[in-house]
Amino acid sequence: MSSLSSHSEPQTYMFSQMRAALSIAKSVDILEHVYSLPTPQAQEEAMAAIRAIEREAMAAQVAQPGLVEVMSYLDSRGVRKGICTRNFNTPVAHLLNKFLPDTHFSPIVTRDFRPPKPHPAGILHIARTWGLLRGKNTESSNSDGGAQSDGQVIVLDGEGGAGKGEGENGTEIEESDADASGLIMVGDSIDDMTAGRKAGAATVLLLSDVNGHLAEHDHTDLVIRRLDELVPILEEGFKTRHATSP
């Protein structure tokens, strides 16, 4: 379980490049700005500028330490994996083909999904796609026990380019019957941790040089420094420090 940026080493320099290209301040959400532009043409031109930066960064992706090991473990246990990313589909496909060509992720929720993190809709959509519904969920990667062969894992994007994440049909979706309590969300941003907490999932922060302040955040259940640290954690039984209700 990891964010898209947890698959590859963080490329946070992209954010400043995107804001410079769009002439917006650091405090402005990049995709909120794009979607607020007055015409479809202006929105598409701004989005094209963002995609160009993402494509350039895509070529420099480097795998996170422990990525292959943890994915091999999850594959061997039959754990399902999904992605919810702020990127568009091309960098996602490139990353998976480059580092994890034999690992299956489904569904893959990209920028075409709304509303974005820190809203929990993307996580709940994955849970619902897997048939995890309130009152009907008998499968879990239990936060009080070890990873099970039918456990659930969600893979979320913490760096992800610009994304706001849009709905598959361009509209906000309602996932009120989805049950994400059996999911573990791994990411590297406050949006990841908050989206996971709001969805009712357990949250794992992949620590980096820029997110240490999130280690003690109320929305963070567990902190790791390498992805393969998850293997003994899941084997011994994942225990959160918070309740898993939203």
The predicted-structure confidence for 109-167, as pLDDT tens digits, reads as follows: 888 887 878 889 999 999 999 999 987 754 444 444 333 334 467 766 544 333 333 33
What is the per-residue pLDDT for 12? 67
Cβ pair 113, 125 in contact under 8 A: yes
Please report whether residue 68 resides in a domain. yes
Could you tell me the sign of the dihedral formed by the alpha carbons of 194, 196, 198, 200, in that order? negative
Q: What is the CATH number of the domain that holds 160?
A: 3.40.50.1000
Assigned domain for 242 exists: no
Q: How confident is the model over 45-64, as pLDDT tens digits? A: 999 999 999 888 887 777 88
With respect to residue 244, please indicate whether it lies within any of the assigned structural domains. no
Helix (H, G, I), strand (E, B) or coil at 179: coil
Q: Give the whole-angstrom CA distance, residue 166 versus residue 88.
A: 10
- Please indicate, yes or no, whether residues 124 and 220 belong to a single structural domain of this protein: yes
Q: In the chain, how many domains are there?
A: 2
215 lies in the same domain as 158:
yes
Kindly report the pTM of this predicted structure: 0.76
Residue 118 lies in a domain: yes
Same domain, 78 and 114: yes
Domain match, 75 and 176 both? yes
Q: Which domain holds residue 33?
A: 13-58
- Residue 25 placed within a domain: yes
Give the pLDDT of residue 73.
94
Residues 35 and 143 placed together within one structural domain of the fold:
no
Helices and strands (DSSP H and E) totals, the chain? 9, 6
Q: Could you tell me the two tokens for 111?
A: 């920028």
Q: What is the pLDDT of residue 156?
A: 61
For residues 53 and 71, state if they share a domain.
no
Burial readout 155-175 (b: 16 or more C-beta within 10 A, e: otherwise): bbbbbbbbbbbbbeeeeebeb
65 or 160: whose pLDDT is higher?
65
Are both 166 and 213 inside the same structural domain?
Answer: yes
